Amino acid sequence: MIRIKTPEGYLLVGHQEHARLAGRFAARWGNALFPPPAPPAALPEVLLAVFHHDDAWANRDATPFLTRENRPSAFTHELVGTYSAFEEIDLADYLAVRGAATEAVATEHPYAAIIISMHTVNLLTEQADLSTIKAADRPLHTAFIAGQLRRQKELAATLSPALAPYSTPEHLQRAFEFLQFCDNLSLLTCVRYEHTRPLRHTHPDASGERRTLTCSPVDADTYRIDPWPFDTPTADFAVPARRVPAAACPDLATFRAAYASAPIEQLPIHLVPA
């Protein structure tokens, strides 16, 4: 879940809805400056990976939790660019959800599952503050990462002849970087991030030069993307959210009831070029 602070309380966006937004960004990528992120045969799998990379969070977000401070437990703007505070979560449960994200698409779409697994491994290694993992939980973390790397190889061995040529490290790395770009842009816009920020990874333009793209807020729901990677002059989106007042968070039962009964509203997101 993603949390936005409001004067009255919180706007809450489910992780799956955030991923759906990332998938809509992915579907709009591509113009004269930026080519598609994958060859035609592999592109549907890459787009599917972006769209479904957080499917395993749906059940968890349906029964949300409170922090010790009685705030909805969620990703916030303070956590952009970090992956920490492992001491505040049940690591076994958390890793189970992350592993389920890979398996949610593995049977029918092993190529997409590899990309999702690469994203998970990166979040839990390169982007993670491992010092916040309890000493007793570190073997669990190590075993999970090893299992994901092993699973990627298993999935690669099951690819169809049409997709096997695109399971090279170069093709998979490009797909992984693209997923993380879309994921990062979705997180920044969903949390209403207030500062200019480079988006994850550099991306090849039509000449092959690697380019850094930035996201800059213009107002509460408009963001400037530079350089512009999408297929229309501007791009408009919306993401479903529930509005929960702070007064509805004195305890878990009250909060969950308020969350379940909150009407769903659409948060607008407007992307514009520099």
Domain count for the chain, please give it.
1
- Quick one: tokens of 76? 């916030």
In this prediction, what percent of the chain has a pLDDT beyond 90? 80
Nearest partner of 140 among 110, 99, 82, judged by Cα = 99
For residue 164, the enclosing domain spans 2-273
pTM of the model: 0.94
Determine the Cα–Cα distance for residues 236 and 51; give it in Å rounded to an integer. 17
pLDDT digits (tens, 9 = 90+) for 32-66: 999 999 999 999 999 999 999 999 988 888 999 89
Query: Tens digit of pLDDT per residue, the chain (274 long)?
Result: 889 999 999 999 999 999 999 999 999 999 999 999 999 999 999 999 999 999 998 888 899 989 888 998 877 655 555 555 555 567 888 899 999 999 999 999 999 999 999 999 999 999 888 888 888 999 999 999 999 999 999 999 999 999 999 999 999 999 999 999 999 999 999 999 999 999 999 999 999 999 999 999 999 899 999 999 999 999 999 999 999 999 999 999 999 999 999 999 999 999 999 9
Cβ atoms of 210 and 201 closer than 8 Å: no
Per-residue pLDDT, 80: 55
Per-residue pLDDT, 118: 98
* Residue 167 CB contacts under 8 Å (≥ 6 apart), including other chains: 111, 114, 156, 159
Per-residue pLDDT, 76: 65
